[in-house]
C-alpha cells in the first residue's frame, strides 16, 4: 500500500514578503514549491496538498475596498474572498505541478477541490481576532488603513511590520473528505482545504451559510489528515526546524518532541500565534487523534537525513 501524506504549506510560499504579488512571481514560486514536492511523488506517495492564503486573501480584501470606493462594486464577505483565493491558488499550483510532472516523466492527475469547512458560529474566536492576513505594513501605512477601513491590526513578533488580524474559529468537519481521500488513494494529487477552507456554519438544520472569518490552514489540514486517515502529516515552512528560545543566545532546535513536551512549550509561550504556535497545535492534534507522527520542516529539506522537527505521541 502506498503511503498517503497530507502536506501543508503557507501562502507565503507563493507570495513572499518582499514581492508585489504579480502572477509571474506567484507562478515562479509555485513551480519552485512543486519541484521540491515532486520528491514525494517520485517516492510513490499518494498526496494531498493544502496551502495558506494569508497574503492573497488580504490583497483581495484591499481590492474589494478599492473597487467599492472607486467604482461602487459591491464588497464581498471574507468567506467569498477565501473562495476566490482557493480557486486562483489552486489553479496556479495545479498548473505548475503539471509542468513539473511532465518535465520529469511522472504520470499523475492533479485536481483542485474548493473546500468548505464547518465551524461553530458561537466560537469565542469571533470575539477575539488572532489570524494575520494580507501583507506587512509600516506603522504609518497601518494607521492610514485603520482610518479608512476600521480593520484590526497587530504587530508581527518577528519585527516585519503590521498585519491585519481576523477571527479564526476551530474547524470541525471537512466537506468532501471522502472524495478527497478516494481521489488521493487512487493516485491523483489533490489540492484541497486551501487557506484553511471556506468557513461555513448552520443557520438552521440542513442550511449552510458562509461566515466572516479565516480558518487556520494548519489546523484544518491536520483535521483533514485525521479524517482521511493519512499516514503522514507534514507542515512546510521557512525554517528547517522548530526552535525554543528562538533568536536568543540559548536558542535550541528540536529534532523530536513528544506531545506533552510540545504542550509545555506552548504553555511556556515559546511559540507565537502569528508564527509557529498554530503549526505546533496542528501537529499535536494530528498525533493525538491518529497516533502517528507529524513533521515541521523547510520545503527544501524534504527527504534529507535528520530534517525537520518530528512530533510523536510519547
What integer pLDDT is reported at residue 93 of this predicted model? Answer: 96
3-state secondary structure 162-186: EEEEECCCCCCEECCHHHHHHHHHC
What integer pLDDT is reported at residue 81 of this predicted model? Answer: 94
Q: Which residues are catalytic?
A: 11-12, 131, 217, 279
H/E segment holding residue 311: strand 309-312
Burial zone of 312 (CB within 10 Å; 0-12 exposed, 13-18 middle, 19+ buried): middle
- The torsion angles phi and psi of 15, rounded to 5 degrees, stand at -130, 105
Contact present, 298 and 236 (Cβ < 8 Å): yes
Each of the 314 residues of the chain gets a pLDDT tens digit; together they read: 799 999 999 877 888 777 888 999 999 999 999 999 999 999 999 999 999 998 888 889 889 888 998 999 999 999 999 999 999 999 999 999 999 999 999 999 999 999 999 999 999 999 998 888 877 889 999 999 899 888 899 998 778 899 889 999 999 999 999 999 999 999 999 999 999 999 999 999 999 999 999 999 999 999 999 999 999 999 998 888 999 998 899 999 999 999 999 999 999 999 987 789 999 999 999 999 999 999 999 888 887 777 899 999 99
Q: Regarding beta strands 46-51 and 189-191, do their DSSP bridges make them parallel or antiparallel, or are they unpaired?
A: parallel
Contact present, 73 and 31 (Cβ < 8 Å): no
- The answer, as to whether pTM is greater than 0.95, is no
What integer pLDDT is reported at residue 12 of this predicted model? Answer: 75
Amino acid at each position: 500500500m502506498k503511503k498517503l501524506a497530507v502536506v501543508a504549506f503557507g501562502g507565503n510560499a507563493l507570495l513572499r514578503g518582499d514581492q508585489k504579488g504579480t502572477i509571474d512571481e506567484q507562478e515562479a514560486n509555485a513551480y519552485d514549491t512543486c519541484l521540491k514536492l515532486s520528491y514525494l511523488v517520485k517516492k510513490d506517495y499518494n498526496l494531498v496538498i493544502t496551502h495558506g492564503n494569508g497574503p492573497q486573501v488580504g490583497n483581495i480584501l484591499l481590492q474589494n475596498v478599492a473597487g467599492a470606493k472607486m467604482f461602487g462594486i459591491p464588497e464581498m464577505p471574507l468567506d467569498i474572498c477565501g473562495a476566490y483565493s482557493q480557486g486562483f491558488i489552486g489553479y496556479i499550483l495545479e498548473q505548475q505541478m503539471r509542468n513539473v510532472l511532465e518535465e520529469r516523466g511522472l504520470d499523475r492527475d492533479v485536481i483542485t477541490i474548493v473546500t468548505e469547512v464547518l465551524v461553530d458560529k458561537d466560537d469565542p474566536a469571533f470575539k477575539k481576532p488572532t489570524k494575520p492576513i494580507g501583507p506587512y505594513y509600516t506603522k504609518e501605512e497601518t494607521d492610514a488603513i485603520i482610518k479608512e477601513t476600521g480593520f484590526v491590526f497587530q504587530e508581527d513578533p518577528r519585527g516585519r511590520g503590521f498585519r491585519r488580524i481576523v477571527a479564526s474559529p476551530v474547524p470541525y468537519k471537512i466537506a468532501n473528505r471522502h472524495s478527497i481521500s478516494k481521489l488521493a488513494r487512487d493516485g491523483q494529487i489533490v489540492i484541497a482545504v486551501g487557506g484553511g477552507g471556506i468557513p461555513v456554519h448552520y443557520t438552521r438544520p440542513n442550511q449552510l451559510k458562509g461566515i466572516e472569518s479565516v480558518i487556520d490552514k494548519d489546523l484544518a489540514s491536520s483535521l483533514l489528515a485525521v479524517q482521511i486517515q493519512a499516514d503522514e502529516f507534514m507542515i512546510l515552512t521557512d525554517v528547517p526546524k522548530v526552535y525554543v528560545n528562538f533568536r536568543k543566545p540559548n536558542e535550541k532546535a528540536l529534532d523530536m518532541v513528544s506531545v506533552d513536551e510540545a504542550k509545555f512549550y506552548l504553555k511556556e509561550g515559546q511559540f507565537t500565534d502569528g508564527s509557529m504556535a498554530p503549526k505546533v497545535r496542528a501537529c499535536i492534534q494530528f498525533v493525538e487523534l491518529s497516533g502517528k507522527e507529524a513533521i515541521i520542516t523547510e520545503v527544501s529539506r524534504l527527504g534529507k537525513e535528520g530534517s525537520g522537527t518530528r512530533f510523536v505521541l510519547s
